Homo-oligomer: A and B are copies of this chain.
Amino acid sequence: MFPSLAALRDAARDLPPPDEIAAAAVAEHQAQLTKPPGSLGRLEDLVAWLARWQGQRVGAAPRLDRIDVLVFAGNHGVTAQGVSAYPAAVTAQMVANFSAGGAAINQLSRTAGAGLRVIPLALDRPTRDFTGAPAMEEREFLEAVGCGFDAVVPEIDLLCVGEMGIGNTTAAAALAAALFGGGGARWAGRGTGVDDAGLARKRAVIDAALTRHARLLGDPLALAAALGGRELAAILGATLAARHRRIPVLLDGFVSTAAAAPLARLSADGLAHALAAHVSAEAAHRTLLDELHLAPLLDMGMRLGEASGAALAVPLLRAALACHTGMATFAQAGVANKEA
C-alpha cells in the first residue's frame, strides 16, 4: 500500500515507457500478411498496442491467454442528495448478483473468455457526502487505491476495469469537472436513469462540491479522494499497477474513465497503456474521452458500467491477434503483392 499521497504521486509519475521495438516488429510482420497494407484498420493498431505495452520478447507475438475483468464496488454518501434513480442498497444486491452469475458482466466475461473478479469495498461504510466534506480521508483513499493495485496479478495479458456503485456517476462527474473544467451543466447526465428533477439535483450537487473543494484544484489525487469513491480509487490503483506490470488496460465507461483520469493529469502519458473500450450513452463520457484524446473502440449506446463495455471489446482484440498470428504471408501463400 502507498504510505502517502506523495508516494502514490511518485509511482504515477515514474512510469515504464512503451516498447517501440516490439510494436515495430508487429508492424513489420503485418506488412507481409496477405492483405493490402493497413486494410485491417484498427485491428492492426490493436496488435501493435498490445505489443507496445506487453513488451514482448523479439519474435514473440502478443498474448491474450489470460484476461482479468475486475469490477470494484462502492457506496456513496452523496446518494442522500437524491442523485440516483435506484436506492443505495442496490450496490450490495448487485454484488450478490455478480456472485451468483446473474448480471450482464457475468455473461459478457464468459463470452470474452475472461476471468471475472468482483471486489466490494466497505459497502457498509459509504463515503461521505462530498458536498459537505471530502468523500474520503487520505488514508481511506490510499487503502482503496492499494486494494485496486494489489488486485492486478502480474500473470495476466490484459486487464478490463469496471465498477458498480449507486450514485457514482455523480462522483465521476464531479471529479471530471474538477480535473478538466466546466461545472455540473457540462458533466452531469442521467446515469442509470434519473428524471429531470434528479438531473437538476446532480448538477447542483456537482457545482456545490466544486465550490467546497476549490482549494484542491490542481491536485489530481487530492481531488480523487475528495470527490471520488472507493471503487474509483481502486480503478486508479489497478490501472496504475497494470502500467508497472506491463499489462494493457481496457477502460469501461464514464465512471471508469473518470476514475483513471487523474493518472493522465499526473503524467502526460499516464494512460497511454489504456484504451477506451467504448463510448457510453452518458454524454459526458465522450466529452471526457475527447479531453483524454482516447478514441473508443465501440459505440453501442450502453450505460450499464460493470466493465460491460470493456468485456464487449475483448473479442475485437482476440480477432485482431488471430489475424496477426494466423494469416499467411504473401510469400507463403503465393499471392502477388501490390508491387508485383
Q: Which A residues lie at the B interface, using CB under 8 A? A: 33-43, 85-87, 89-90, 93-94, 96-97, 100-104, 106-108, 110-112, 192-193, 281, 297-304, 308, 311-312, 315-316, 318-319, 322-323, 325-328, 332-336, 338, 340
Give Cα distance in the complex from A102 to B108, angstroms: 29
Give Cα distance in the complex from A251 to B335, angstroms: 26
Contact flag A107-B327 (CB < 8 Å), given A36-B193, A36-B303, A333-B97: yes
Task: Give 16 pairs: A residue, B residue, CB < 8 Å, sorted on A.
Answer: A34-B97, A34-B104, A36-B303, A38-B303, A39-B303, A40-B302, A85-B338, A86-B336, A87-B340, A94-B335, A102-B326, A102-B332, A103-B328, A104-B323, A108-B319, A312-B316
Chain B residues within 8 Å of A334, by CB:
93, 96
Chain B residues within 8 Å of A110, by CB:
322, 326
B319 pairs with A315, CB closer than 8 A: yes
Give Cα distance in the complex from A328 to B315, angstroms: 23
- Minimum distance in angstroms from A216 CB to a CB of chain B: 32
Chain B residues within 8 Å of A35, by CB:
103-104, 304
Contact of A338 (CB < 8 Å), options: B97, B106, B193, B302? B193
6 cross-chain pairs, A with B, having the tightest CB-CB distances, nearest first: A102-B328, A41-B301, A315-B315, A36-B192, A107-B322, A107-B326
Chain B residues within 8 Å of A101, by CB:
326, 328
Chain B residues within 8 Å of A106, by CB:
326-327
Give Cα distance in the complex from A85 to B336, angstroms: 11
Q: A39-B303, A87-B336, A103-B328 are in contact. List 6 more A-B contacts (CB 8 A).
A: A33-B104, A39-B302, A39-B304, A108-B322, A298-B298, A315-B315
Chain B residues within 8 Å of A96, by CB:
333-334
B90 pairs with A336, CB closer than 8 A: yes
B300 pairs with A42, CB closer than 8 A: yes
Give Cα distance in the complex from A271 to B236, angstroms: 45
Give Cα distance in the complex from A96 to B33, angstroms: 15
In the complex formed, the residue of B with least CB distance to A90 is B336
B335 pairs with A97, CB closer than 8 A: yes
Contact flag A36-B340 (CB < 8 Å), given A319-B107, A319-B315: no
In the complex formed, the residue of B with least CB distance to A108 is B319
Contact flag A93-B335 (CB < 8 Å), given A36-B85, A193-B36, A327-B107: yes
- Minimum distance in angstroms from A24 CB to a CB of chain B: 20
B301 pairs with A42, CB closer than 8 A: yes
A299 pairs with B302, CB closer than 8 A: no
B85 pairs with A323, CB closer than 8 A: no
- Minimum distance in angstroms from A238 CB to a CB of chain B: 23
Give Cα distance in the complex from A108 to B324, angstroms: 11
Chain B residues within 8 Å of A37, by CB:
193
Chain B residues within 8 Å of A297, by CB:
300
Chain B residues within 8 Å of A304, by CB:
35-36, 39-40
Give Cα distance in the complex from A315 to B103, angstroms: 18
Chain B residues within 8 Å of A325, by CB:
107
